[in-house]
Amino acid sequence: MKKVFLILVPLLLVSLLAAIDFEFDGENRTRGAVYNNVNEKDGGHIDNRTLLGINALYRPNLSMRATIQFGDVVWGGFGGSIPASVPISAYELYLNYRFRNTNIRVGQQYWKDNMSLILDDSFSGVMITNDNLAGFETEVGWIKALEKQRFNSDDYNYFLLNMQRGTPIPWGLYASLGWDADYVNTNKDYTHITLMPYLSYDTDAITCDANVFMGLHFVEDEDMEMGIGAAAKADVNVGPVVVSGDVLFAIENGIAVLSPYYQNGLYIYGINEHNDALNLYWDNPYSNNNDTVLSLVGKVKGDITRNVSAFGAAGILIDKGFEVNGGVEFKLIPDVLSLTGYAAVGIGTNDGPTNYALGTTLKMNLKD
């Protein structure tokens, strides 16, 4: 616990002594599951972690944010106790400066593309946002994706441009250029370019997000490779229930990704919001893939009572398997504390393994 105080106390003192306003937020999550692996061997674990965030306003146009993560701690992984070596990491550490209609953010910061296909995580770098550049909200970013040997020219740098317009139908364009000066320790340059136009549509009855993406891959002394694909999500409110569909398609090579978090609603053949650590076969299959990828998922969710809802999904990941899952979510304290129970079964194609997952997730939102 000594490390916890060494990190938090200076942050709190800076916020209290120098800031004119500050607020706290965060999340506590505990989850447990039993499941089997690709060899159908049974197992399971419980883990928990806490996120604590501080927003400190120093001037009307100058602020700071710090988010610290404690965990993920696997229960019993250290003999059942939490020693001094418990994982503690800085998730966000940035300064935010506002100049007229332009925002400049420097440091470790969170950002996501509209469908989390490429990035949905914190990164180290600089993000400049202009509220109205020729009618578009425009973001220009530099990401230090990987610092390798400090005295060699072997780092991985990533540059992105994101332009979006909100009316009449929200749409935009994401473009990026990545340069890895020592690709997988081969002493070869790897340059990749990604183009991804997208649109969103949101009404009381229908919500829809759709992307088309193209990736160009240039490895030194090798032929250029190209990948294309598309993704779409739709939610339709049909009275007491919401029916959803999720489609993801990509030919070989796909696109380059940094730290994506695309959720298709499956546990075994994808990523699910209730437990993102159970998937066995996903591994971002639309990135630098050797074969065509197709994920098709249908979902349904409805309220049983005011604070209890049920959900289910069925879907396929081509050449991997078919999954059916479902569960119940309890809002123990609305907007603060929730408990979710779920179960999933996956059947592998071509006599592949049969996998299962059964678990619960307890979440609490922290607010000042």
* Band (23; pLDDT cuts 50, 70, 90): confident
pLDDT tens digits, residue range 155-210? 999 999 999 998 788 999 999 999 999 887 788 899 999 999 999 998 889 999 99
The region of weakest confidence among 17-26, 55-64, 106-115, 345-354 is 17-26
Q: What is the mean pLDDT of residues 84-110?
A: 90
**3-state secondary structure (DSSP) of residue 10:** helix
Mean pLDDT across the chain:
91
d(CA 233, CA 123): 26
What residue has token string 């990736």? 215
- Counting residues of the chain whose pLDDT is more than 90, the rounded percentage is 75
d(CA 311, CA 33): 18
* Band (1; pLDDT cuts 50, 70, 90): very low
Bridge partners, 28 (sequence order)? 50, 364
329: Cβ–Cβ under 8 A, 6 or more apart, which residues? 308, 309, 310, 311, 338, 339, 340
Token couple for 320:
């991997």
**3-state secondary structure (DSSP) of residue 290:** coil
Residue 18 pLDDT > 80: no
End-to-end CA distance of the chain: 22
Residue 310 pLDDT > 60: yes
Q: What is the pLDDT of residue 79?
A: 56
Q: What is the pLDDT of residue 82?
A: 59
Q: What is the pLDDT of residue 259?
A: 96
Bridge partners, 2 (sequence order)? none
d(CA 271, CA 259): 13
What residue has token string 């779409």? 232
pLDDT tens digits, residue range 115-126? 999 999 999 999
Q: What is the pLDDT of residue 183?
A: 83
Q: What is the pLDDT of residue 73?
A: 85
pLDDT tens digits, residue range 257-272? 999 999 999 999 999 9
**CA nearest neighbour of 267 among 324, 330, 311, 197:** 324
* Band (5; pLDDT cuts 50, 70, 90): very low
Q: pTM surpassing 0.85?
A: yes
Q: What is the pLDDT of residue 78?
A: 63
